[in-house]
Amino acid sequence: MADMARRYLDHLVDDILPWWLAHGPDPARGGVHTCWDNLGQQLVSRDKYTWSQGRWAWLASAVALAAQDGWLPVDPEPWRRTAVDTARHIRDHAMLPDGTTAFVTTDDGQPKETTPGQGLHTSIFADFFTALGWAGLARLGADPDDDWAGRARTLYDSAVDRIAAGPVRTDPYPVPPGYGSWALPMITIGVGNELFAATGDQAVAERVRAAMDTLDESYLRGDDGLEMPVLDPELADPDSLHARHRTPGHVLECLWFLDDARAVVGDHPLTDRARLTAIALRALEIGWDPQYGGLLRYVDAAGGEPSGTVQVDAEADPHGTPDPYALLVTETWGTKLWWIHSEATWTCELLAARTADPEICVWRDSVRDWTLERFPAGPGQEWVQNRDRAGTPITRTVALPVKDPMHIARAWLRIAELEQRGELHP
């Protein structure tokens, strides 16, 4: 396992982090450029998506903190600088008068509509990721001239309250009426964990616990994670594509959020590692591609290609076009994506370390080996992030037209942290 631990660390320190530090920060205008093509060779847009800016601020803070603590062998100073610069860029350019965030700004920081007439604030996820970035900076303590913890807490509370009041905007893919969205309690937990780590605020812990209760009560059927459960039977169809499809990567990513939440809420049904392992095994079993290997983006509740009826709002669209999310599921279910495989690798390593469960250890090896064989782009490069079912690179946009900076670096950073504590399981 020592050789594998060194391989993880070397890939992070020699390839992933240097590529992003060289290609991401924009010292001239502030923030970070993330709209690179899948191969990492061409900047296809200079727009700055707030979603990505917040993620970068958190990641840069986490890298700087790890380097500052002495276990990550990189210079913390450039990471501190870009964390502060990006957090300030969001504060100064992406915040709207009502306290929400613009989904995207121009290169020089002017908020813009992604679709004319749809408004500037189109996704609560941009709010959550901004709060995440500010919480990371608060934990780092690199910019005491502003109350980053207070800013993060205000935006987080606002987002959680708006979810409770509902409905909320969730672009780039709206949730149809009557359905839930696994991503909403999940992001409440994940960002809440980071905010609690920065502040120790028990009120944040209570919001995390409430989101975990919601996840357990409405989004899990035994060990099966429901991406879009039917919450209102008068509006939603349990036999629909929305209700039947599963997103294994989301479930696997959320499991390490739940494990982290042990430090925030203490004991909870969803901090029981035996239960987390059972949920992981279910996601891996239905998500693994029996033909090509790797994890499919979407699958049916019974495994394989998603099925079910597709509801159409005839009043809104007389032509009967399925909604954007249904099209996404049917057209891209077989793709193999960077975020799913990086998150699955980290979750499997974590659960193997925490439980030594023999099944999860076998899955850990399969996921890790498939991922490392196909995704890294070579020495000094990051990953070719989007691939088709057979593993060939594709150019199709996934959610946002960006080469996402967070998932891979975050997963490898967490694995490196586990290794430096001597906890990786052989």
CA dist., res. 219 & res. 212, Å (int): 10
The whole-number pLDDT of residue 398 equals 79
The whole-number pLDDT of residue 284 equals 98
Closest CA to 19 of 373, 336, 384, 344: 384
Determine how many CB atoms are found less than 10 A away from the CB of residue 322: 17
- Type of residue found at 30: G
Determine how many CB atoms are found less than 10 A away from the CB of residue 6: 11
The whole-number pLDDT of residue 321 equals 67
Determine how many CB atoms are found less than 10 A away from the CB of residue 70: 9
CA dist., res. 124 & res. 269, Å (int): 27
The whole-number pLDDT of residue 163 equals 98
Assessment of whether the complete model's pTM goes beyond 0.95? yes
- Nearest 5°: CA angle at 425, between 424 and 426? 115
CA dist., res. 276 & res. 252, Å (int): 9
- With helix as H, strand as E and coil as C, how does 159-216 read? HHHHHHHCCCCECCCCCCCCECCCHHHHHHHHHHHHHHHHHCCHHHHHHHHHHHHHHH
User: pLDDT tens digits for the chain (426 residues)?
Assistant: 578 889 999 999 999 999 999 999 999 999 999 999 999 999 999 999 999 999 999 999 999 999 999 999 999 999 999 999 999 999 999 999 999 999 999 999 999 998 899 999 999 999 999 999 999 999 999 999 999 999 999 999 999 999 999 999 999 888 999 999 999 999 999 999 999 999 999 999 999 999 999 999 999 999 999 999 999 999 999 999 999 999 999 999 999 999 999 999 999 999 999 999 999 999 999 999 999 999 999 999 999 999 999 866 555 555 666 788 898 999 999 999 999 999 999 999 999 999 999 999 999 999 999 999 999 999 999 999 999 999 999 988 777 788 999 999 999 999 999 999 999 998
Residues β-bridged to residue 336: 387
Please report, in angstroms and rounded to a whole number, the separation of the first and last CA atoms in the chain.
5
